[in-house]
Amino acid sequence: MGSTKTSGSPEHSVQSVRVTLRRSPIGTPERHRLVLRGLGLRRIRQTVIHPDTPQVRGMIYKVGYLLEVGKP
């Protein structure tokens, strides 16, 4: 017999975090600018939504002084 799966997409079971770039990365270390690119942030006041994983939280922690973080 087959296994029973719940219907719906996996996004509903994963928590998300909203990240907004609030300060300019000009004058910051190159590694911090690369982290911002990895998060998908290119412009001030740009907002992206990511899954709330340890990897994303680590990236947010590294450049948190440039960001605003909240729930979607």
Domains, in order of start, for the chain: 14-70 (3.30.1390.20)
Q: Using DSSP, state whether 72 is helix, strand or coil.
A: coil
pTM over 0.85: no
Q: What confidence tens digit (pLDDT) does each residue in 2-55 have?
A: 555 555 555 556 899 999 999 999 999 999 999 999 999 999 999 999 999 999
Ramachandran assignment for 40, one of left (phi > 0), alpha (psi -120 to 50 degrees), beta (any other) = left
| pLDDT at residue 22, rounded to an integer | 98
Q: Which amino acid is at 38?
A: G
CB 44 within 8 A of CB 1: no
* CA pair distance 40, 50, nearest whole angstrom: 10
Q: In which order are the strands placed within the sheet that holds 67-70? A: 47-51, 16-21, 67-70
